[in-house]
Amino acid sequence: MTKVTFNVTFVIGAVAMYIHRRIEAIVRQAAEGFPAVLVSGPRQSGKTTLLKTLFPDAAYRSFDDPAVQDFAVADPEGFLLQFGEQAVILDEIQYVPGLFSYLKMAIDANRHTHGKWLLTGSQHFSMMHAVSDSLAGRVAILNLLPFSYAEIPADNSSTLKDVLWNGGYPEILLNPAIRDTWLASYIRTYIERDVRQIINVKDLGLFQTFLSLCAANHAQECNLASISRDCGVAQPTVKRWLAILEASFIITLVKPFHANLGKRLVKSPKLYFTDSALVAWLTRQADKEALFHGAMGGAFFEGWIINEIVRVFNNTGKNGEVYFWRSREGLEIDCIIEVNGRRYPLEIKMTATPTLKHAGALEKFLKLSGTGSDRGLVVCNCREAKPLTRNVTALPWSAFMEWLQSI
């Protein structure tokens, strides 16, 4: 087996202020085991910086460059041959989906060379369809999400208010002064460039309204009929647009728990934006105090915890799932984590004063679900862990972050 080797020393001069990512070990492992690695994820999550830092000796081409894109489209075989034996980072590969079939031939001509083709792309439907058709078994697909709490530099995560206000995108964390300008530009670019490319939306203003309505429903059940009515578009269109937001990593849809507990009521997923700063901008939060103490404060906190769980699973390669649960009696559990054959039910509350009432739904769920579930947790803003019942403990969110790494 031939393996392309790399110098993985971090060169600060080459990548200014690089912040280590928890997914680095998985990316290196994938490059040692697959001919190609695709790092997908939302725009500006740090995909290019990650690959350039981990593989500094690799060549680099960006399909944002019209000349590079034209070369790849006009002469795809010649484009790939120019790199010889050198590893190469091909950035924003979704712009040239026709290249995938030629990549397949290049890989099959030297199948035992691993880590040669290092790809990045936003998760467009056309790109993933092309990957599935052409590179099945030849490519490791990884997702790079915005920074998790564990990745944020200490200076940027001094308080929970700061974390919720600034979110996890690298540009804002490295330069908080540009937050509002960056977010406005990000949304405009996403709608005007990415949405146009994925679907033929005649009225981009209508899609902006739809996006804002979704933000207002952050951490709530996704009611297609309500969004359709408020936005003025048909339900099938709403469903399709939601799928686009999910494929672009703008939102996460959490499904209801499906175990046969005899009391399951809802079938609709809960909608969470993957970054709290985006939600704050779209819902016009005045400042971090208004966000934290306002009507949506609990939703921001719940969404952040849910996204932290997703990020930890993603960055460590754990095969975990996240659900929510609601019974016919109206009992609801914000989150059920399933990992390694165990269930961990959680209530997520902004309160600093957890009480016995916060344990009621957890106790009911634990009784119904039997031996497959561990003790319940109320993740909240309290200062120290506090037992609420024999089976339920209130846990500070900071302690929960440490617990999450251990499961």
> Which pLDDT tens digit goes with each residue over 282-331?
999 999 999 999 999 999 999 999 999 999 999 999 999 999 998 877 88
Specify whether 221 is located in the same domain as 310. yes
The residue range of the domain holding 9 is: 2-143
Q: Name the domain count of the chain.
A: 2
Strand 342-348 to 321-326 pairing:
unpaired
pLDDT of 148: 95
User: Across residues 391-405, what is the average pLDDT?
Assistant: 95
Specify whether 70 is located in the same domain as 202. no
- Domain ends where: 101, 119, 143? 143
- Domain ends where: 94, 124, 143? 143
Specify whether 154 is located in the same domain as 73. no
| pLDDT at residue 152 is higher than 90 | no
pLDDT of 156: 57
Query: What is the Cα–Cα distance from 202 to 200, expressed in whole angstroms?
Result: 6
Element of type H or E holding 220: strand 220-221
Work out the pLDDT band at 259, boundaries 50, 70, 90. Answer: low
Specify whether 135 is located in the same domain as 175. no
Cβ atoms of residues 356 and 388 within 8 Å:
yes
pTM: 0.90
Highest mean pLDDT among 123-137, 250-264, 329-343: 329-343
| pLDDT at residue 370 is higher than 80 | no
Query: What is the Cα–Cα distance from 392 to 388, expressed in whole angstroms?
Result: 6
Specify whether 135 is located in the same domain as 155. no
DSSP string for 180-197: HHHHHHHHHHIIIIIIHH
* Other beta carbons less than 10 A from residue 166's beta carbon: 21
Work out the pLDDT band at 124, boundaries 50, 70, 90. Answer: low
Work out the pLDDT band at 131, boundaries 50, 70, 90. Answer: confident
- Domain ends where: 80, 115, 143? 143
| Percent of the chain surpassing pLDDT 90 | 71
| pLDDT at residue 1 is higher than 90 | no
pLDDT one-digit tens code per residue, 200-216: 777 888 899 999 999 99
Specify whether 79 is located in the same domain as 224. no
